[in-house]
Amino acid sequence: MTFIHESKLSKKVLIPFLVLALFSMMLVFMNPTSASAAAAIPPLSDSRNPQLPNVIVIATGGTLAGKATDATSFQTYQAGTYLMSDLVNQLPNKDKIANVNTYQFGNKGSGSYSIGDLYDLSLAVDQALEVYDGVVVTSGTDTMEEIAYFLDLTVRSEKPVVVTGAMRPWDVIGTDGPANLYNAIKLAGSGKTKSFGTVLMLNDTIQAAREVTKTNAHRMDTFETPILGALGYIDETNISIYRATARALKAGEADWATPFDLKTITKDKLPAVEIAYAYQDAGGGAINGLVADGVKGIVTAGTGAGGISSKMSAARSNAIKQGVIFVTTTRTGSGTMYPSSSNGIIAGDSLNAQHARIMLLLSLAFSSDFNVIKGWFGTYGTQDVEEAS
């Protein structure tokens, strides 16, 4: 009887553990991101064409990989449904522009990724560029500009990195997904944006990650670069570049790469940084609440040339006394913020609030010194063209 009792007890203990283990394995299978950091970038194919560049598509999901309710449901779809390997296989004539491989980093909407996930994504891109000539990262468009700028600031290789996505899911009439994916592969393989840092390519238009922003919730030409304009365009076999990023002028130099080498830190070093939006007679509660939550930095999206209300200003002054670093930007969509003598406040140059947050977050991950961070904003964050020495 004792043996039977112990056997039943063992089953009661073991079965829940077995169920939990099986459930965990299913989660990893359903969500590749959870295993992305440990997964290996696939090697080059033995059957590749030696005359063509080698490009890998690192997929994160988004609308491009979305499955629609039906062929005319432009807005009703499940983002991040299709696997990138299947989508690439559907592209016609891809074997004429590059040897293409894929890596499924994840498969969900862009807003669902954490900063820690972006840490893993950046390391995966650099790992891929040790082997491949160029990388295409597919992403949802909602936070694409932030994902792209994170890569722009952290990827160490000067090889081309092209971020693309779609405004319509893959399986609807008039979808922009296949064309965007095809042209992004073409651009990455061309080498025309080598040393430019990360660029976006959607709607046949090439834009710098630092300056591009999403301007419309639905239109396919949503991504624009205020004031400065696009880098260039793709028209079938023609890839035309009309301006370069300031980084391109530093190609091959030691200071081409930013100080933000993720291999030298762990994810837990990435601090909390938030955005406070200014408006008529805005209260200081948002800033006070963020400080209470333990943020290390706050970006203000100010009115006009970065203005904030008196209540916000008072809350900011108190936060600075507690060691919080602020960056000033404008909510207008464009315009340059210039440095001042204010202690604890850094001018965000022409960065919009969401870009400035990424820059401040990475800066605080590598330094707590205000003057050091201010210097990084004035150089790596500004990307102004300097006179040759």
Catalytic residues: 63
**Strand 232-235 to 325-330 pairing:** unpaired
Distance, CA of 202 to CA of 220 (rounded, Å): 8
- DSSP 8-class letter at 101: E
Q: Which amino acid is at 18?
A: L
Q: Let me know how long the chain is.
A: 389
User: Phi and psi (nearest 5°) for 252?
Assistant: 80, -5
Across 198-268, the runs of DSSP E, i.e. the strands, are 198-202, 205-208, 213-214, 223-224, 232-235, 238-241
What is the four-CA torsion angle of 226, 228, 232, 233, rounded to 10 degrees? 30
Asked if 129 contacts 159 with a C-beta cutoff of 8 angstroms, the reply is: yes
HSE-CB of 228 using CA atoms within 13 angstroms: 25
